[in-house]
Amino acid sequence: MATKRPKQKRASGYAKDLLDVATMPRMQVDELLRLAAALKAKHQRGTAHSLLAGKTLGLLFQKPSTRTRVSFEAGMNQLGGHALVLPVGEIQLSRGESVADTARVLSRYLDGIVIRTYDHAIVQEWAAESTMPVINGLTDLSHPCQALSDLMTIKERKGRFKGLKVAYVGDGNNVANSLIEAAAKVGMQIALGCPAGYQPDQHVVDRARLEAARTGAAIEVCVDPQIAVKEADVVYTDVWISMGREREQARRLRALSPYQLNGRLLQKAKPDAIVMHCLPAHRGEEITAEVLDGPQSVVIDQAENRLHMQKAILVQLLRQKKGRA
């Protein structure tokens, strides 16, 4: 039986791991936003640097991924380090080796690891058993790297957080949960229009409301997408059938079809509202092609920012000296 180690903090005072936005200090989020913008500018100028020379990042994905996997891998290379994809079926985890033993051993080889998995408790176990930083690359509960880079996109487009209203319509899933945490952290209003049974995680909402009371944010959850979108500055949606929910397809399509982000719904938002989607998208389901490919959509720039924000996360977490297992 694995012994639990006390929560480790790094020299910066920030936690070793990045599992959720809610548990990050505001100062850490602000620092990431500054660093990501600086790294983006450097990348655009073509300035060479090797902030993570000699470091190796592991990538362990138990669900498919295009953006997260490729942007972490490319980002690590751009920072002068090396990324190592660990195909799940080719490591001993797939033959029953424990997470604890795998995490302890990999901590001796790697400087950090990104995990994409199902149950959120699995990334928590990785974090508890590793001495290297563990980054949540998406669980059924949350997608913090997405939400942090979405903050970057919103800041670029709108220049601020305070006074903005973000609307999220559709399935109150992992992406919605992290967006709520991010909005609460930076003091933005967020309104979610999700049908009964598909609303965001109640613990996430309760905890975000406590944070919102400190930051001036407001978290509203309702069943009417039109109320959620009314006068919004940012309109966000995500797929109705997240990875792992495929067997619920028919039920989900029935419940969520009134929540499609289409031209009619978008008209309720401010005329200069931007449309966001974490991608991959299903045109004709949660969003129409007209809106996803329309003039208000920022989804490709949004996806690009995954690269810059994740490089900032890597620099923040991996540059600090790693302890011994």
Strand ranges of the sheet holding 134-136, from the earlier edge strand across to the other edge: 82-85, 56-61, 112-116, 134-136
Spatial CA neighbour of 184 closest among 154, 200, 162, 152: 162
Interface residue with ligand NVA, options 239, 276, 313, 318 (CB under 6 A): 239
Decide if 34 is catalytic.
no
Q: Name the residue among 170, 163, 147, 154 with its Cα closest to residue 222.
A: 170
Strand partners, 165: 189
What distance in Å separates the CA atoms of residue 101 and residue 241, rounded to the nearest whole number?
33
The distance of closest approach from Cβ of residue 238 to ligand NVA in the complex, given in angstroms and rounded to an integer, is 5
User: What's the distance, Cα to Cα, between the start and end of the chain in Å?
Assistant: 16
Cβ nearer to ligand NVA, comparing 52 with 138: 138
Report what 66 binds from ligand CP, ligand NVA, none; CB cut-off 5-8 Å by kind: ligand CP
Stretch that binds ligand CP, among 28-36, 64-72, 147-155, 196-204 (CB under 6 A): 64-72
- Residue 101 among the catalytic residues: no
Check residue 65 for interaction with ligand CP (CB under 6 A).
Answer: yes
Yes or no: say if 57 and 271 are a contact pair by the CB < 8 Å rule.
no
Site map (CB under 6 A) of ligand NVA, residues 80-119, x = contact = ----------------------------------------
Using CB under 6 A as the binding rule, whether residue 175 contacts ligand NVA is answered as: yes
Applying CB under 6 A, the site for ligand CP has a residue count of 8
Nearest residue (CB) to ligand CP, 212 versus 303: 303
For the chain, the maximum distance between any two Cα atoms, rounded to a whole number of angstroms, is 58
Binding site for ligand CP (CB under 6 A): 65-68, 138, 146, 278-279
